[in-house]
Amino acid sequence: MKSLFSIFSPKNPDEEMRKAQALFEKIVSTQSDSREARNIRVRMGLLCRAHLDKSFVTGAEQMASWQELAALAMANGKDKPPLPEPSVFQKIKAGENEIYVYLPEEYAHEAFMLGGRYQCAEIPALKAIETMQGLANQICHYELKLAEPFQVLQFLRDELAQSQDNEPASGVS
């Protein structure tokens, strides 16, 4: 299985995406609990974490753009554009290369929509983090069979901690 990560050498994006999906499916279907198999699952977990984070950010960015386009369309008496759609593939930087990473639609869609809901202020940061962590936990435990889940949205956790550190202490005793 060690050579599984070397399958990302093709230059054709469609082929890269097909192989990314095949790799994910092969890893989640592996029954082995060898050290090598666990290491590969952990590496896939890190790629999945990057996919979830990027899907969340992409959802937020695309929703912000959509809101602007929808407001402009409504101001001009036109129909709103269609809502943006998530992708099951994300291009992730891995070392010096960029590779495609696949996540099943239910995970990619949920992360994308959570980013959009966060962007629209429908959910606060803590709820976004909690819900995204639940997704990560599902992937780790049920798909990758990892004992320890990886932590998602570290950038948002850091931003939230920073904003809480900068808040003045209340005068309540």
Contacts (Cβ under 8 Å, ≥6 apart) of 99:
8, 16, 20, 47, 91, 92
Rounded to the nearest integer, the mean pLDDT of the chain is 90
Give bridge partners of residue 94 from the DSSP assignment: 97
Residue 11: which pLDDT band, with cuts at 50, 70 and 90? confident
Q: Tens of pLDDT along 68-108? A: 999 999 999 999 999 999 999 999 988 888 999 999 999 99
Q: Tens of pLDDT along 100-136? A: 999 999 999 999 999 999 999 999 999 999 999 999 9
Please report, for the chain, the start and end positions of each structural domain, with discontinuous segments joined by +.
7-146
Q: How confident is the model at residue 142, as a pLDDT?
A: 94
DSSP state of 79: P
Task: Report the candidate in 94, 84, 95, 91 with the shortest Cα–Cα distance to residue 17.
Answer: 91
